[in-house]
């Protein structure tokens, strides 16, 4: 099954933010495009808006004037649905309400031919439910674009329970022909991106809720140590707290209140107070003119230790050993293959976050995960009240000697980046096991859809098979809600290397 012929007209119904973006993509790919909106005059305004954007592309020399003129001639607002009768594909981007979408598709079926492909851009409804009442339900597919559609290439191509394979394939190939990067996925809550990204927000909010650190510090650690483009607090301020929370709530509800997706009470209160983020002038941060952005907590300079003893090769943090040597600090390695700890001259230990709290040990400082210790500019440390001041100072001085800022946070098991990444990896394995998408497509979706520095499977390969499962086991032992219980899929993955027992 191939992509739609470029001579086939494509309709976009609902010409708000997404509809206009999707129409622009289909139009610049070469299709005749029809626009329809329930509010009279809005489709015409949308057409003008799209042409104005094409004008800007011409000014930037990214589109020729001739191509802009041809595109303008192919763009046609329609006064009612009958104007869409000759379309080969209708993409719906109307209000996010099941009854509205069902009614629209019902009306469309009376107008278009039986082989017209129907697509919904819903981000949170079940594609199966949207197409449930159709006379020919097999032709409805989810085409989930991201905002702004002309700039973000990812499109989740969602097959509902009744979607014909041929229709999904045609939608997939058409998205590809439009210069997009499609990923195929099953119709499950949140599809790929909005499902697997939930812990990015939830774990940051959890660390905040348990007084582990303030938003500015958590954001700085996610960016400067985790390699994420933005921290969870600043990103949700940009998205809108109400929008972000409603996605979380809808995924949680759609999974029958699965504890792994439980929304955040702190975010609920923020929404209730009207602090919706940038658009309302205040969210986690204050955006009023002249308001000062809070600084992350950064430790004062401390003396680095003269030497460290590495008990093991430091596992996923092994790059640190070279960095420590380069900083002129002597490293004695005691057990090359096992362990992820450094012994400091104080006798205390510095260990990579492992899902336990520091108070469980005699004299330990935990450090957080980074996918790139060389490039990281900040590292979070945590310790208990019982950790000696000398151990904390030596741990702080050590990372500062490597050129990192240090944020000392509360004694939170799994720290910030490590718990976030472990949960993202877990949900990714779970999604593959449940047939949501392939490993490769999930990595692509998370890199393109939410700009993650690495896809969850790339991350998992770097961290080693057992890493995420073992960190989550640690968290699960300390929080029996089930939120951190590793999925069967992750457990199987860990067992495939070494965790096996000989006899049942």
- By the criterion CB under 6 A, which residues form the site for ligand NAD? 13-19, 37-39, 42, 93-96, 100, 104, 121-123, 145, 147
- Peptide bond preceding 148 in cis form (omega within 30 of 0): yes
How many other C-beta atoms can be found within 10 angstroms of the C-beta atom of residue 300? 8
Measured from the CB atom, the residue of 107 and 322 that comes closer to ligand NAD is 107
Q: Least CB distance from residue 39 to ligand NAD, whole Å?
A: 4
Measured from the CB atom, the residue of 25 and 485 that comes closer to ligand NAD is 25
DSSP letters for 7-32: TS-EEEE--SHHHHHHHHHHHHHT--
Crossing angle of helices 417-433 and 198-209, rounded to 10°: 140
Measured from the CB atom, the residue of 27 and 343 that comes closer to ligand NAD is 27
Helix (H, G, I), strand (E, B) or coil at 408: strand
Tokens linked to 467: 């890493």
**CA-based angle 447:190:230, to the nearest 5?**
40
Q: Distances in Å between the alpha carbon of 477 and those of 210, 480, 486?
A: 17, 6, 11
Q: Least CB distance from residue 108 to ligand NAD, whole Å?
A: 10
- Best CA proximity match to 441, nearest among 421, 456, 426, 430: 456
The helix (run of H) or strand (run of E) holding residue 63 is none
Crossing angle of helices 467-478 and 417-433, rounded to 10°: 110
Measured from the CB atom, the residue of 17 and 481 that comes closer to ligand NAD is 17
Measured from the CB atom, the residue of 181 and 318 that comes closer to ligand NAD is 181
Buried b (16+ CB within 10 A) or exposed e, 336-370: eeebbbbbbebebbbbbbbbbbbeebebbbbbbbb
Please pick, among 92, 121, 126, 144, the residue that the annotation labels catalytic: 144
Q: Least CB distance from residue 22 to ligand NAD, whole Å?
A: 9
Is 156 one of the catalytic residues?
Answer: yes
Please pick, among 31, 109, 121, 123, the residue that the annotation labels catalytic: 123
Tokens linked to 454: 């690495």
Gap between the Cα atoms of 82 and 302, Å rounded: 73
Tokens linked to 492: 């199987």
Is 144 one of the catalytic residues?
Answer: yes
Q: Which residue is nearest to ligand NAD (CB)?
A: 16
Q: Least CB distance from residue 164 to ligand NAD, whole Å?
A: 22
Measured from the CB atom, the residue of 237 and 354 that comes closer to ligand NAD is 237
Gap between the Cα atoms of 200 and 218, Å rounded: 11
Measured from the CB atom, the residue of 17 and 211 that comes closer to ligand NAD is 17
483 phi and psi, to 5 degrees?
A: -60, -35
Q: Least CB distance from residue 84 to ligand NAD, whole Å?
A: 11
Q: Least CB distance from residue 45 to ligand NAD, whole Å?
A: 9
Gap between the Cα atoms of 66 and 418, Å rounded: 52
Q: Least CB distance from residue 132 to ligand NAD, whole Å?
A: 16
Q: Least CB distance from residue 256 to ligand NAD, whole Å?
A: 21
Gap between the Cα atoms of 279 and 273, Å rounded: 14
How many other C-beta atoms can be found within 10 angstroms of the C-beta atom of residue 434? 12
Please pick, among 121, 159, 194, 382, the residue that the annotation labels catalytic: 194
Measured from the CB atom, the residue of 122 and 241 that comes closer to ligand NAD is 122
Is 303 one of the catalytic residues?
Answer: no
Is 326 one of the catalytic residues?
Answer: no
Cβ proximity of 407 and 224 under 8 Å: no
**Nearest 10 degrees: Cα torsion 441, 447, 452, 453:** 110
Gap between the Cα atoms of 391 and 397, Å rounded: 10
Q: Which residues are catalytic?
A: 123, 144, 156, 194
């Amino acid at each position: 099954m191939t992509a739609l012929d470029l001579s086939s007209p494509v309709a976009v119904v609902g010409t708000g933010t997404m509809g206009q973006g999707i129409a622009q993509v289909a139009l610049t790919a070469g299709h005749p495009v029809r626009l329809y909106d329930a509010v009279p005059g809005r489709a015409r305004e949308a057409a003008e808006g799209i042409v104005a954007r094409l004008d800007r592309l011409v000014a930037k020399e990214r589109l020729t004037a001739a191509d802009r003129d041809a595109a303008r001639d192919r763009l046609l607002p329609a006064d009612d649905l009958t104007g869409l009768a000759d379309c080969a594909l209708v993409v719906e981007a109307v209000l996010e309400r099941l009854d509205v979408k069902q009614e629209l598709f019902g009306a469309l079926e009376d107008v278009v031919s039986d082989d017209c492909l129907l697509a919904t851009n819903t981000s949170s409804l079940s594609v199966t439910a949207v197409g449930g009442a159709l006379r020919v339900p097999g032709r409805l597919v989810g085409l989930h674009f991201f905002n702004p559609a002309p700039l973000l290439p990812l499109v989740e191509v969602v097959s509902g329970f009744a979607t014909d394979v041929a229709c999904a394939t045609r939608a997939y190939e058409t998205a590809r022909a439009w210069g997009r990067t499609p990923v195929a996925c099953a119709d499950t809550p949140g599809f790929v991106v909005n499902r697997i990204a939930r812990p990015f927000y939830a774990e940051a909010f959890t660390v905040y809720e348990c007084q582990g650190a303030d938003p500015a510090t958590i954001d700085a650690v996610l960016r400067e140590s985790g390699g994420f483009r933005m921290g969870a607090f600043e990103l949700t301020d940009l998205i809108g707290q109400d929008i972000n929370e409603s996605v979380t709530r809808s995924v949680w509800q759609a999974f029958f209140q699965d504890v792994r997706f439980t929304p955040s009470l702190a975010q609920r209160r923020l929404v209730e107070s009207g602090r919706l983020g940038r658009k309302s002038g205040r969210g986690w941060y204050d955006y009023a003119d002249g308001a000062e952005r809070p600084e992350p907590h950064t430790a004062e300079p401390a003396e680095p230790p003269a030497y460290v003893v590495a008990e093991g090769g430091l596992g996923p943090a092994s790059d640190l050993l070279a960095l420590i040597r380069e900083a002129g600090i002597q490293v004695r390695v005691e057990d090359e293959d096992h362990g992820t700890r450094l012994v400091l001259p104080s006798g205390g230990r510095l260990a990579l976050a492992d899902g336990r709290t520091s108070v469980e040990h005699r004299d330990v400082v935990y450090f957080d995960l980074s996918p790139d210790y060389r490039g990281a500019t900040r590292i979070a440390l945590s310790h208990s009240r019982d950790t000696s001041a000398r151990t904390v100072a030596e741990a702080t001085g050590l990372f500062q000697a490597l050129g990192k800022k240090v944020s000392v946070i509360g004694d939170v098991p799994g720290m910030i980046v490590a718990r976030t990444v472990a949960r993202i990896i877990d949900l990714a394995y779970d999604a593959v096991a449940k047939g949501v998408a392939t490993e490769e497509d999930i990595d692509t979706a998370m890199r393109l859809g939410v700009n993650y520095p690495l896809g969850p499977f790339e991350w998992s390969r770097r961290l080693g098979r057992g890493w995420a499962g073992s960190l989550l086991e640690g968290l699960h032992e300390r929080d029996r809600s089930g939120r951190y219980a590793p999925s069967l899929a992750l457990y199987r993955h860990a067992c495939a290397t070494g965790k096996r027992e000989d006899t049942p």
